[in-house]
Structure 1
Amino acid sequence: MSSDQSSNQKKSNPFTIIKDDSTDGHGGYGMGAISLENMSPVIIDPNENKAYVDMGAMHARSDVERRVKFLPDKDAVPNGKLYWIVWVTVEKGENGPYFAGVCGSEIRVDREIKRAYKSMPEHVTHMDKSLKGKIIVEHMDEHSKKLLKDFLADFKGGEMWNNSTDELKQALPK
């Protein structure tokens, strides 16, 4: 596979839409477990002005998170570059799929010293809140929110953005 094909493949990662219903009544193994099938992590890189889906973030293995040691103290990474992992949950409504939950979690990465900051409790909380349809982006910087809004609004021709709630549209800059 050529590098052009490889980079095109990375850019076409779709949002995950609900495939199976874990509460369909089978009552077997995993009944009552939380399904992450309708959640996708969007990486916001304000340094490079880009936003993209990286499913590796579901297991702390996104490109941004690789080859660094995470520390729970932001002060230990004073020169870290800012990134956001935005946990986006997609639901299906009357008009089709829409962005139901959108919660941004900060990470700071210093490649030079191979150290990074991430608050695991914050990431877990934001994943949970996203699954519950909450919008939590007010702590993000304006530039990153604009990158997120543009990415969501452009995804699949804007259909999912158009179907989304006014709360989400008002939380992100025009």
Structure 2
Amino acid sequence: MQKLSLTGKAKHQTDDQMKGLSAVLVDGDDIFVDNGAIHAKSRLEVGIQFVKSLDEVPNARHIQGLWITLKRQENGLGFTGAMPFDLWIDAGQKIGYKKLSEQVNNMDKAVRGMVDLSKLEPSLRMSIGQYLQKIRPDLWENASADFRHAFALDEK
């Protein structure tokens, strides 16, 4: 089973609000955690020059990102916040586009525990939810009700 390298810690609470933040990326059929995205250094972003307009990316491939946060719940550490973000990459030309202000705002919302997946297709929400449930069932079991409900998976 894949080890989920989340940035959350089970002990030693600190003032660092970003400690429980992770990034899940969806590139075609591939869903994976890449915490490098927190600092704009995901494996998809490295070596990419970001431009000011999507029109400047001729063969843009859409990558869906999701900021995910962890927080201690009644039963232990669990998923709490989830907010989407978008990347468009042309790997051949080594250029890409992203709305940085939207990424930062959604990152902040996820850190504060907000969940809004309304911009995602239902099938994508379900796929990401199944992925999260599979790789870390303990975090899924301890997730907030809002988090679990947003992914439209059957509740236990």
Please, what TM-score do these two structures have when normalized by structure 1?
A: 0.78
User: Which has more radius of gyration?
Assistant: 1
Greater displacement, 124-133 / 75-84: 75-84
CA positional deviation for 1:125: 0.4
CA positional deviation for 1:78: 4.6
Aligned CA-pair RMSD: 2.0
Deviations 1:108-146 (A, max 9, x none): 111122211101101100110011000022112334323
Structure 1: stretches of 5+ with no match in the other structure: 1-7, 24-33
Distance 1:166 1:22, change over 3 A: closer
1:36 match: secondary structure:
helix
Name which of 74, 83, 99 aligns with 1:119.
Answer: 99
Instruction: State the distance in 1 between where 2:97 and 2:149 align.
Output: 29
Percent sequence identity over aligned pairs: 26
Q: Report how many residues are paired.
A: 152
Please, what TM-score do these two structures have when normalized by structure 2?
A: 0.86
1:2-13 matched pairs, under 5 angstroms: 11-13=2-4
Instruction: State the distance in 2 between where 1:173 and 1:79 align.
Output: 32
Match of 1:40 in 2: 22
- Which aligned segments of 4 or more residues in structure 1 are displaced greater than 6 angstroms? none
CA positional deviation for 1:36: 1.3
Structure 2: stretches of 5+ with no match in the other structure: none
Greater displacement, 14-23 / 107-116: 14-23
